[in-house]
C-alpha cells in the first residue's frame, strides 16, 4: 500500500475518533438531524458515493460516525508466508486474511501464528519430554512415544482464537498486537486427551488450577524467565476435547505452531493452549505465571467507557470466548455485475454451539437466515452460506451476525476494554454491483 494512501486512511480514522458528527459534516457533508442520525444529505451522499465509486441504496440506515468498510485501512502485508500478514517479528505474530480461511479445515500453512517468546531450537520429537507433576499422586515424565502408546490417540477439528483477535478496531486504540480478523483457525489436531493423562497421574482433591510451561525462551534471553505460562481451572482441564497434540492436519505440528508438542484447549483464549509443551503441573490456587496476573488476558468485571481507567482488582480472567462469525467468500471489495451473490463463512462460540447465522445488506435494518451446518465435532467452527439478491446497482455492505445456543448474539459495536480483548462485533465486507 502506498504510504500516502496509508496516511490518508489513518487521518480519516483519527478524525472520526475525535468527533464523529463533526467528521461526518467535514468529510461527507453529513450532520445529525433530529432523531435520524446518520441520514446523508444530498451533497454528502454524492461525496461518499464518489469515494466508493457507486451509489449506496440503503444509505438512510447508516449511523453517525459510520465508515464504509471499503474505506477501512488494511495492514501492510509481507510476502513469503503463504498469504499471512506479519504483524511483528520479535516475537513472530502473523494472521490470515479472511478470504484465505475459506476451508472447513484450516491448512497448516494458513493457521495463524501467536508467539510470546523465542521458539526453541531443539525440537526433536524423539527426545522431547513432558513432565506431569504438582498435586498428583504419581508424577510422570513422558516421551511422545509414551503418550502414543499409553493413551488413546484421537483427532478432532478444534477452533483456536487469540483473545486479542480484532484488537485493531478498538477506538481509542488498545496496546498489543493489532490483529484484524485472522487470528483464528480450525485445524485437525491429533494427540491424546489431557484429561486421560491427568487421570493417570492421579488428580488430588485439592487441585484448583493447571499450570502450563513451554520451552520457548523469554525475549530478554534470560533463562530464568518464562515468556508465558498460563493455566485453566481443573474442571475445564478435564474436558475431553482438550488435547496434548503432536499432529496437525495429518502431519507433524508446524514449528511456529508448537512442534513437537502443544496443548489445544479449544473455546478459550489461544494463550491457554501452550506451545512447545514441557510441563503441566497442578496447583491448589489460581496459577500466577507470566500473562496470568494483572490485566493480561483479563477484562473488567463491568462495562467500561472507552479510555476509562480500571483498577487491577476489577479485572477477571477471560474464560470462554464469545460468539463470532467470519465472511470468507467473497473477498471484501468485490465488484460485480451480478445482482445475485453467494456468501459463506464460519461461525463459532467458546464452549457453546452456534444456533443461527443471519446476514444483512441494508446496514442491519433487515436480516435473512443463512444455511448453517452442524459442527464436525464439538469446538469445531460451523460453516454457513446464504444467497443474496441485490435490488439495484450500487455500493453494499454484507454484514453477518451469529447467535449461539445460549441466546448470545454478536453486537454491531465493540464492547471496549483496556487491553483490546474479545472483539466479537459483526464482520462486514463491501460489494459494489455495477
**pLDDT 10s digits, 171-211:** 999 989 999 999 999 999 999 999 999 999 999 999 999 99
The CATH H-level superfamily of 85-317 is: Oxidoreductase, molybdopterin-binding domain (3.90.420.10)
pLDDT of 328 above 90: yes
pLDDT in tens, 246-280: 999 999 999 899 999 999 999 999 999 999 999 99
pLDDT in tens, 60-82: 887 766 667 776 555 544 344 57
User: How much is the pLDDT for 23?
Assistant: 54
User: How much is the pLDDT for 46?
Assistant: 55
Check for a shared fold between 85-317 and 323-433. no
User: How much is the pLDDT for 7?
Assistant: 33
Q: Is the CB of residue 210 less than 8 Å from the CB of residue 235?
A: no
Average pLDDT over residues 110-137: 96
Name which CATH class applies to 323-433. Answer: mainly beta
90 band by pLDDT with thresholds 50, 70 and 90: confident
User: How much is the pLDDT for 383?
Assistant: 98
pLDDT of 2 above 50: no
355 band by pLDDT with thresholds 50, 70 and 90: very high
User: How much is the pLDDT for 65?
Assistant: 61
Residue 302 CB burial class (10 angstroms; 0-12, 13-18, ≥19): exposed
User: How much is the pLDDT for 8?
Assistant: 35
Please state, for a pLDDT cut of 70, what percent of the chain lies above it: 84
Residue-wise burial string across 161-190, b where 16 or more C-beta atoms lie within 10 A, e elsewhere? bbbbbbbbbbbeebebbbbbbbbbbbbbbb
pLDDT in tens, 16-51: 455 555 555 544 444 444 333 333 334 456 556 655
pLDDT of 112 above 90: yes
Q: What is the pTM of this model?
A: 0.85
Domain locations in the chain? 3-63, 85-317, 323-433
User: How much is the pLDDT for 41?
Assistant: 39
- For 86, 97, 119, 181, 413, the CA distances from 80, given in Å and listed in that order, are 10, 14, 20, 20, 34
Amino acid at each position: 500500500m502506498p504510504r500516502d494512501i496509508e496516511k490518508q486512511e489513518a487521518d480519516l480514522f483519527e478524525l472520526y475518533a475525535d468527533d464523529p458528527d463533526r467528521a461526518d459534516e467535514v468529510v461527507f457533508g453529513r450532520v445529525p438531524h433530529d432523531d435520524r442520525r446518520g441520514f446523508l444529505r444530498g451533497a454528502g451522499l454524492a461525496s461518499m458515493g464518489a469515494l466508493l465509486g457507486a451509489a449506496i441504496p440503503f444509505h438512510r440506515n447508516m449511523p453517525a460516525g459510520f465508515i464504509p468498510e471499503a474505506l477501512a485501512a488494511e495492514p501492510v502485508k509481507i510476502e513469503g508466508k503463504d498469504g499471512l500478514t506479519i504483524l511483528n517479528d520479535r516475537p513472530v505474530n502473523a494472521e490470515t486474511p479472511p478470504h484465505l480461511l475459506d476451508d472447513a479445515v484450516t491448512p497448516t500453512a494458513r493457521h495463524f501464528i501467536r508467539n510470546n517468546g523465542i521458539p526453541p531450537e531443539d525440537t526433536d520429537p524423539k527426545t522431547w519430554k513432558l513432565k506431569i507433576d504438582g498435586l498428583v499422586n504419581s508424577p510422570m515424565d513422558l516421551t511422545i512415544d509414551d503418550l502414543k502408546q499409553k493413551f488413546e490417540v484421537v483427532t478432532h477439528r478444534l477452533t483456536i482464537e487469540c483473545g486479542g483477535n480484532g484488537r485493531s478496531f478498538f477506538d481509542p486504540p488498545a496496546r498489543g498486537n493489532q490483529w484484524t480478523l485472522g487470528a483464528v483457525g480450525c485445524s485437525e489436531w491429533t494427540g491424546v486427551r489431557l484429561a486421560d493423562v491427568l487421570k493417570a497421574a492421579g488428580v488430588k482433591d485439592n487441585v484448583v488450577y493447571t499450570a502450563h510451561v513451554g520451552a520457548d525462551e523469554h525475549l530478554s534471553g534470560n533463562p530464568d524467565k518464562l515468556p508465558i505460562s498460563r493455566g485453566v481451572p481443573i474442571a475445564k482441564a478435564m474436558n475431553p476435547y482438550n488435547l496434548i497434540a503432536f499432529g496437525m492436519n495429518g502431519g507433524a505440528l508446524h514449528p511456529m505452531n508448537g512442534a513437537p508438542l502443544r496443548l489445544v484447549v479449544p473455546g478459550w483464549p489461544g494463550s491457554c493452549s501452550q506451545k512447545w509443551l514441557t510441563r503441566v503441573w497442578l496447583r491448589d490456587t489460581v496459577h500466577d505465571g507470566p500473562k496470568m496476573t494483572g490485566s493480561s488476558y483479563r477484562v473488567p468485571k463491568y462495562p467500561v467507557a472507552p479510555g476509562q481507567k480500571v483498577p487491577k482488582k476489577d479485572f477477571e480472567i477471560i474464560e470462554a470466548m464469545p460468539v463470532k462469525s467470519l465472511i470468507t467468500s467473497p473477498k471484501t471489495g468485490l465488484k460485480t455485475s451480478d445482482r445475485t451473490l453467494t456468501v459463506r463463512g464460519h461461525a463459532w462460540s467458546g464452549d457453546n454451539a452456534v444456533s443461527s447465522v443471519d446476514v444483512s445488506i441494508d446496514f442491519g435494518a433487515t436480516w435473512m437466515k443463512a444455511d448453517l451446518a452442524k459442527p464436525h465435532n464439538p469446538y469445531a467452527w460451523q460453516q454457513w452460506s446464504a444467497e443474496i439478491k441485490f435490488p439495484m446497482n450500487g455500493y453494499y455492505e454484507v454484514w453477518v451476525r451469529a447467535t449461539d445456543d445460549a441466546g448470545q448474539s454478536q453486537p454491531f459495536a465493540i464492547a471496549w476494554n483496556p487491553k483490546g480483548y474479545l472483539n466479537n462485533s459483526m464482520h462486514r465486507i463491501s460489494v459494489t454491483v455495477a
